[in-house]
Structure 1
């Protein structure tokens, strides 16, 4: 089964960074990564991927239009088994609280700790197997 991780960030450079960080995993076919530049685009991509192949959404919080926090309740309602981790440059307690209250399983601050993210992905892959 192909499993997908959906990365949502309005910065196009994020795709290059993630593909570099996870190039071995992607080449080995452990999972596939899809990218969306906005929350509405992410919701469309999630609908195309569907469960159970979509196992994790990594979303920036601050994006123009619909923010990651605004998208979160809709994702939780439509895809309750898909884990969502929010990513922000501002890791303050209030942002963390809002993310968790709206259904995120975690919050990563930029610059992203890819070792920690890899552990989280490994956990999700284990649960999907």
Structure 2
């Protein structure tokens, strides 16, 4: 399963690679990373058919995660749709409402509960 993580904080990459080292080694998941919404859209131009899941931060400079979500739902709506989970440090109802209205499949808060995330991923594979 190919997962694209979109977050402007570079240390997120090492965190995901560490938390999922067993799953990566077993070829259960493969990660790619984009440091902005704009870079995520560039990545998706060529590889959208490979990506099963996008984990996107909401608060990023430039394009927000909500704007990215809206673009993904508009530009890449062909079946099967990409699963998009929003991740934010701000657990407020307005961000959650906007994310769900724009087509988010889930809404997770930082610090990420990786055990919960792995459970969500198992549900995607079945």
The TM-score normalised by the length of structure 1 is 0.91
- Name the SS of the counterpart of 1:100 in structure 2: helix
Aligned to 2:30: 32
Which consecutive unaligned segments of at least 5 residues does structure 1 have?
Answer: none
Aligned pairs for 1:44-59 (under 5 A) are: 44-51=42-49, 53-59=50-56
Deviation at 1:16, TM superposition (A): 0.2
Paired residue total:
123
Residue 19 (structure 1) aligned with residue 21 (structure 2): no
Residue 66 of structure 1 is matched in structure 2 by 63
How far, CA to CA, are the matches of 2:119 and 2:101 in structure 1? 23
Give distance in 2, aligned partners of 1:8 and 1:67.
10
Name the counterpart of 2:95: 95
Q: CA deviation at 1:50?
A: 2.3
Moved segments of 4+, more than 2 Å: none
User: TM-score, structure 2 length as denominator?
Assistant: 0.93
Q: RMSD of the alignment, in Å?
A: 1.0
Find the aligned partners of 1:95 and 1:121 in 2 and give their Cα distance. 23
Q: Secondary structure at the residue paired with 2:4?
A: strand
